[in-house]
Structures are given as C-alpha cells and as structure tokens.
Structure 1
Amino acid sequence: MAFLREVLSTTGWIERTREFGLCLRSTRAPGGLLVVGTPEEEPWHLAAHLDDEARLSGLAQLAPTLVRWSPPPGAPSHLAVGIDRIQAARRGETLFVVTEQKAPVPLLERVDDARRTGATILALDGGDPELEGLAHDALAVPPQDGLFTFDAAQHLVSMSAGESPRPRSRLLDRLARLAERITGPRVPD
C-alpha cells in the first residue's frame, strides 16, 4: 500500500480517500456502520479491512455490519445480517454502499429510505449518478483509471478510516494545493 500511495501522491486520490475515510468515522456506535453492496457483489473484503482498522485504531465505530441480500441459513452471526437491516437504519448510523456497477433499483429504494430516517449515506461507486444523488458523500472511481482501481480505492479508504486525522494545514497551504490541482505543479525557476 505504501508503494500505491507514493505512486498516487500527485493525483489527488490520496487526499480524497483520506477525506472519505474520515466520513466513515461519523458513525456514533459499534455496529452502526452498515456496509452493503449489490446482490451480485457483496463487499465482504472491504468489511474485513474495516474490522481490522477498527481493532488496530481502537475506533470501535469502524467495526462494520456487513448487510447481505441473501444470507445463507445457519450463517455465523456476523454474516447473517439481511437487507432488512437497512430499514432499521437511523440517525447516527452510516449506510456505506459499495458497488462498482450501477446500483439496482431495490438498493436505491432502500438507500433512499435510510436517508429519510436520518442515516448518513456514503457511496464508493463506479460513477453512478443516481446513487451519488442519494449519498451525502460519494467517491466515484472511474473505470480504467490506471493504478487507481476500484479494489485499490477500497483498500485506501479502509486504511484512511483508521488513520489519525492530520492537523489542518494553514489556509495558504491549502490554497496552494488547490491551485496546484487546477494549474499543475509549480516548476522551480
């Protein structure tokens, strides 16, 4: 991951995944971070990384609840939470939707319901305008963006969620970084 971070250091993706990772910390209590994908693609790998980050960082609110569309009968409790859990989402909880593909209508309907009950909606997606329109914050990973793949984004977001927040830079430093993103890096004289 250190190599990937170094390679991506000039692209803006590191900063964006850090900002997004911090949003995951807004969940108030353990079990309130609900991670859901599509019926075809469950984000169990990301959930496992978030669970590791929760343990390593001491941030219990990062321990996710993996929400599954069709948990098999007799599944262990951490793998048996069904899609109906989204209906119980409330203020202080975060629904984190992870899908590289376009979100199916039943998922969008459940996300909309969770938003109406006060849950914070975050999305890591492949550029789905409908899902992003429902999300309070979204990180869209365009297909074929070189080294920054959807899988890499999941790893960086989970790592960033467990990192200690960096102190805010001075205003001039932040403005300089913004200008650099717009105009490109400054070349010394």
Structure 2
Amino acid sequence: MDSVDADQVAMLREVLSATGWLERTGEFARALRGSAREPGGLLLVGTPTGEPWHMAAHLDDESRLNHIPELSPTLVRWSPPPQAPPHLRVGLERLEAVRRGEALFVVAEDKAPVPLLERVDDARRTGATILTLDGGDRELSGLAHEALVVPPRERLLSFDGAQHLVSAAAGAPPQRRHGLRDRLARLLDRVSGPVTDD
C-alpha cells in the first residue's frame, strides 16, 4: 500500500472510530484472511460492469508487504482479452473448477446478475467459502458465509472506502484475543491493587 492509501486509511479510521464500521470491516477482514488458506486459493470476482481492480491491487500489496502469499487474489474476469498477461486472463471457467478449501470473494457494488449468483451458489455447494462485499444485494449476501454490506446511501463510508479498510485490516497482524483468564487476571489486579510489604 502506498503512502497515499495509508494516509486515506488512517483518516478513514479516525472519522469512523465511533461508528461501528471499523469493527465490522475488521471482523470481515479476519474472516477473509482466515478463508485464504493457500496461495492461489482466494478467487476475486465482480460484476460484468464492475471488476474489482482496486481490491485486487490492495490485497496483492498487503500480501506482498506482509508476507501473506495466500492473501494474493486470483482476479476472475467476465471477458478477459486473449492478449492479456496470464494473471489477467483468468475467466469465469475458473469458478467452475473451484474446490473445497478455496474462497470466493465477490465484490459487487451493484446488483449481482443471475449468472453470477448461479456461479456463487455452485461454488458454495462445492465447499468453497463465500465472502461478499456488496451494496445491499440480499440475494448475493444470502449466499455468503460472511457478508459486509455498504448501503448506497451510507453517508460515512463509501464502497471504495470499505475496500481500503478491509484490505488494510486483512494484511494487519492478527490481534491477540483476550480470553477468560486474561480478563480475570486484570480484574484481580484492579481489585487487589499493588502488593506491598508491611
């Protein structure tokens, strides 16, 4: 991620700190990172009119900078030109070859067309993990194991901004979750206070 993107994410985090969006995008990013189990196993697809170039680039950057090869996505395209480089020539037939253990990440600000919904449904039946970042498409979200919805009228977070937050959080080191023992230890420290010799 370049410094402009990093600055944008920092500003977004500041603006959204009390809105709940940081928690939602962070939770979704953890699910995304956890679903990407092996290099090449994260498939990224959009709609015929909206290929998720930005998300592909951001995830690829996070993968490279943070040494998480499984986070680098395979961009699946509706009509890749035959003269495109191999990594930009992956067509929809790749979705027909999806297998258990892979993840399909659908980024669709607009309503998903029926052919996309059918392919997502087939991938889910095959055993792939389905993640969606969408603008409120209930049919698409209904097929997802994990969904993040950014409604079109959301004033605080744009669809592009959500992509920035998700990709940055997916590349961040996992935060240590505090278990019951940690919480009890902190509670006991507060109750008992510092130990002193009489």
Determine the structure 2 residue equivalent to 1:152: 161
Deviation at 1:104, TM superposition (A): 0.4
Q: Percent identity?
A: 70
Query: Which range moved further: 25-34 or 94-103?
Result: 25-34
Determine the structure 2 residue equivalent to 1:67: 76
Match of 2:27 among 16, 19, 37: 19
Determine the structure 2 residue equivalent to 1:118: 127
Determine the structure 2 residue equivalent to 1:77: 86
CA distance in 1, matches of 2:179, 2:12: 27
Q: Gaps spanning 5+ residues in structure 1: where?
A: 175-189
Query: How do residues 39-54 of structure 1 correspond to structure 2 at under 5 angstroms?
Result: 39-54=48-63
CA distance in 2, matches of 1:39, 1:21: 24
Match of 1:2 among 10, 13, 20: 10
CA distance in 1, matches of 2:14, 2:176: 20
Determine the structure 2 residue equivalent to 1:102: 111
Matched residue SS, 2:131:
strand
Matched residue SS, 2:105:
strand
CA distance in 2, matches of 1:170, 1:9: 24
Determine the structure 1 residue equivalent to 2:5: none
Q: Normalising to structure 2: TM-score of the pair?
A: 0.84
Amino acid in the other structure paired with 1:89: V
**Aligned residues, how many?**
173
Match of 2:98 among 76, 83, 89: 89
CA distance in 1, matches of 2:166, 2:100: 22
Q: Gaps spanning 5+ residues in structure 2: where?
A: 1-8, 184-198
Query: Which range moved further: 106-115 or 141-150?
Result: 141-150
Stretches (4+) displaced over 2 A: none
CA distance in 1, matches of 2:147, 2:100: 18
Structure number with greater Rg is 2
Matched residue SS, 1:34:
strand
Amino acid in the other structure paired with 2:29: G
Amino acid in the other structure paired with 1:80: R
CA distance in 1, matches of 2:142, 2:74: 23
Determine the structure 2 residue equivalent to 1:139: 148
Deviation at 1:169, TM superposition (A): 3.7
Matched residue SS, 2:176:
coil
1:138-170, Cα deviation, whole Å (9 max, x unpaired): 000011212300000001000011011111145
CA distance in 2, matches of 1:160, 1:132: 21
Matched residue SS, 1:66:
strand
Q: CA RMSD in A?
A: 1.5
CA distance in 2, matches of 1:163, 1:170: 21
Amino acid in the other structure paired with 1:21: A
